[in-house]
Amino acid sequence: MSKRTDDYQRTNREFWDADADDYQDAHTSQLDDGVEAWGVWQIPERDLQVLGEVDGADVLELGCGAAQSSVQLAARGARMTALDQSVGQLRHARDHVRAADAPVRLVCASATALPLRPESFDVVFCDHGAMSFTDPFASVPEVQRVLRPGGLLAFNISTLLRFLCFPEADPDALVSRRLHQKAFGRRMFDWGDGTIDFQMLHGDWIQCFRTNGFDVEDLIELRAPKGATTTYGEYANYRWARRWPCEEIWKVRKR
């Protein structure tokens, strides 16, 4: 692992360890509502049909936070493993799993070095988790390794468009209606607000998937539902998210 990789992962881990309590305090009312849903606007899984039937499946959540999604999927019969590199977030996950008496295995590790057996999962997913905060050219090969043939990788991340509409010089700025940055040649974004995020052109994603033995099944660009509210108001305001996609879900399947 390169020094640069070490640096960004250390930065992100330190941020999430320090911010875990405040994050859960701010968003637990939305995350704990018991509905399987995606993204900052909590669009129900029953509407999007991203994961499909999980009863009896071995499922891995990358960047699980307090493991709310893992607990919900375990209730549907999935054999759940929830992974995060933040000890602070996993402390909340442990409490949540115990309170729900849910059969969820918790693992502390990076998505770029999964301490898990090859071909041991049917589904790997995350919702603004590890796929947002690790280099996809390091995390996608690891997902490919732990998925069984025919297994599904599904993840929700910020769109590149949203990133390009942030004034990079001002970490406190809100997403705007103007392009402030170039799209070509970007993969790592350091906003100066504590985390280092990753996103890239769709063509680069497709190349990454194909190189690592995945076929693209779907790309779902999320739109804020009419009248939706969110505890993530700093992420993108409602009017912006009604006009342009601020989140996208990739569905790719291992050959």
Residue 233's pLDDT is 81
pLDDT exceeds cutoff 90 at 235? no
- pLDDT-derived band at 17 (thresholds 50, 70, 90) equals very high
- Arithmetic mean of pLDDT, 83-107: 97
157 - beta bridge partners?
A: 248
Helix axes 3-31, 87-100, angle to 10 degrees: 30
Measured in whole angstroms, the distance separating CA 174 from the mean position of its chain's CA atoms is 21
> How many Cα atoms occupy the beta-carbon half-sphere of 59 within 13 Å?
28
pLDDT exceeds cutoff 70 at 3? no
> Structure pTM?
0.94
Question: Is 3-157+186-231+246-254 a CATH 3.30.530.20 domain?
Answer: no
| Per-residue model confidence as pLDDT tens digits over 147-171 | 999 999 999 999 999 999 988 767 6
Which of 32-36, 84-88, 95-99, 191-195 has the weakest average pLDDT?
32-36
- Arithmetic mean of pLDDT, 97-118: 97
> Which of helix, strand or coil describes residue 237?
coil
- pLDDT-derived band at 1 (thresholds 50, 70, 90) equals very low
Residue 6's pLDDT is 64
Tokens 């998505």 label which residue? Answer: 111
Residue 179's pLDDT is 93
Burial of 3 (0-12, 13-18, 19+ CB in 10 A): exposed
Q: How far is CA 32 from CA 49, 70, 178, 234, in A?
A: 20, 11, 34, 20
Residue 168's pLDDT is 74
| Per-residue model confidence as pLDDT tens digits over 38-64 | 999 999 999 999 999 999 999 999 999
Nearest-angstrom CA–CA distance, 57 and 51: 11
- Arithmetic mean of pLDDT, 84-93: 97
